[in-house]
Amino acid sequence: MDFRTLVAAAVLVFLLNMAGTDSRGKNPDSPDRNAWQKDLLDWRAKHIAELQKPDGWLSLAGLEWLEPGDNSFGGAADNKIHLAGTKVAHLGVLHLDGQTVRLVELAGGFPPDFLVAGAPAKSQVLRVDPDNDKNAPHLTIGTLNLYVIRRGERFALRVKDSKSQALLGFHGLKWYAPDPAYRVAAKWIPYNPPKTVGLDTLAGTHYSQPVPGAAEFKLAGETYRLEPVLEDSAPDKLFFILRDTTSTSTTYGACRFLYTALPSEGVSKPGELVLDFNHLENPPCAYTPFATCPLPPPGNRLQIALPVGEQRYHD
């Protein structure tokens, strides 16, 4: 953990201790509160560490949309995709034919240190799943980590660089003070069958995700409802994409993300879950212009303020 992370953690401990005092300045020393404080501190430290990984979101240095046919890539300026992070003039070609992307070797062959999924590069069809990058093979050379993504009907080469400007210039995150009043119990209302929602993205694309139900909760005596989407066929968490009125001033303008545990009885049965808005985090687009982030569906655009969680990064 670097110096900036240690300082951020120390400040957070102070804020958490302040949040844990009553109106007379005495700490109620509740076991539940202590567990909540530790969980929040651990989550924030993990969030910071994830961003600073060599292949984390701060390493994102490019998003190059592929054109039908040949898309040459490498360090030379005459490539269709110019990669500033390598001195290898011509790495290869990405050939887009319909919904198939093929890595093609040039006459001089691939450089020996150019790897695909950890193995020496060879001409091959690259796996590209719609709106899901988990199974995409990574093309690596030097500090670069590349992989092809699909957004709607468009394909792009995502470029990560462990020496990116954003990663080297990371200056810490900004947070609201912790507030346990924004940790609420919610009623889980399953949709049987689940419905589907169409999501627009900041990259101008559109895709659909399954919505298994809704979380209904109260804040300040008013009842609200949020719908999560499922990112995996066998999910282990719910993914909420939401916006509140702080987006006009102190939080990222497009949205924030909230991940929660699954409801108490699973997603298909009525149950309960906890929504801790102190865990609201910025989407990748808050740190880099090269991400393709989903925007919240209309029902998740709350007309209330949630002054907790992560604040804007660039302000």
**Strand, coil or helix: what is 4?**
helix
Host H or E run for residue 45:
helix 31-51
Instruction: Please give the pLDDT value at position 31.
Output: 52
Helix (H, G, I), strand (E, B) or coil at 314: coil
pLDDT in tens, 24-80: 333 434 558 888 988 999 999 999 999 999 999 999 999 999 999 999 999 999 999
Task: Determine the pLDDT at residue 232.
Answer: 84
How far is residue 309's CA from residue 304's CA, in Å, rounded to a whole number?
15
Could you give the CA distance from residue 198 to residue 206 in angstroms, rounded to a whole number?
7
pTM: 0.86
Going from N- to C-terminal start, the domains of the chain cover 57-168, 174-315
Task: Evaluate whether 13 touches 41 at the Cβ level (below 8 Å).
Answer: yes
Pick the CATH number of 57-168 from 3.40.718.10, 2.60.200.20, 3.40.50.300, 3.40.1000.10: 2.60.200.20
Indicate the SS3 state at residue 132: strand
Buried/exposed 11-44: b ≥16 CB within 10 Å, e otherwise: ebeebbeebbeeeeeeeeeeeeeeebbeebbeeb
- pLDDT tens digits, one per residue of 143-171: 999 999 999 899 999 999 999 999 999 99
What residues in the chain have per-residue pLDDT under 70?
1-31
**Backbone Cα Rg of the chain:** 22
Express the helix, strand and coil content of the chain in percent, nearest 5 each.
20, 35, 45
Question: Helix crossing, 31-51 with 3-19: angle to 10°?
Answer: 160
Please give the Cα distance from 157 to 65 (Å, whole number).
Answer: 6
What pLDDT was estimated at residue 32?
84
* Integer CA distances (angstroms), 311 to 125, 286, 290, 306, in order: 41, 10, 20, 11
Q: How far apart are CA 246 and CA 253, in angstroms?
A: 8
